């Protein structure tokens, strides 16, 4: 069954609702939940791009980046450390 525009928008709204719910949880639940939400993005962004309009997908990507800015920040720091840059771990990274 081929997805249509309405199902893509509903799935994006559910993703945003899940992100809001995770934000209300204690901080200890944020890293595993962020990984789950980021994993769910892999099929969702191309689906929004294909069945919707590219502007819709870019708008969702901008909202997603706003919600997931700290996971992206810490993944970027870990990636830079992997490639040899000397970045000191902060308090949150030491507790993960």
> What distance in Å separates the CA atoms of residue 54 and residue 81, rounded to the nearest whole number?
34
- Distance of CA 91 to CAs 34, 38, 74, 86, 88, Å? 18, 23, 12, 16, 10
Q: Which residues contact 81 (CB under 8 A, 6 or more apart)?
A: 87
**What is the per-residue pLDDT for 2?**
66
Residues (pLDDT < 50) of the chain are none
**What is the per-residue pLDDT for 18?**
92
Tracing tokens 């997908």 back to the chain, one arrives at 57
> What distance in Å separates the CA atoms of residue 76 and residue 66, rounded to the nearest whole number?
15
Q: What pTM did the predictor assign? A: 0.73
């Amino acid at each position: 069954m081929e997805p249509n525009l309405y199902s893509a928008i509903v799935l994006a709204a559910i993703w945003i609702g899940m992100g809001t719910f995770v934000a209300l949880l204690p901080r200890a639940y944020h890293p595993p939940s962020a990984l789950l939400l980021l994993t769910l993005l892999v099929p969702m962004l191309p689906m929004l791009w294909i069945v919707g309009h590219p502007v819709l997908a870019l708008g969702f990507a901008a909202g997603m980046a706003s919600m997931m800015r700290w996971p992206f920040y810490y993944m970027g720091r870990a990636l830079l450390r992997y490639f040899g840059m000397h970045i000191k771990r902060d308090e949150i990274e030491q507790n993960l």
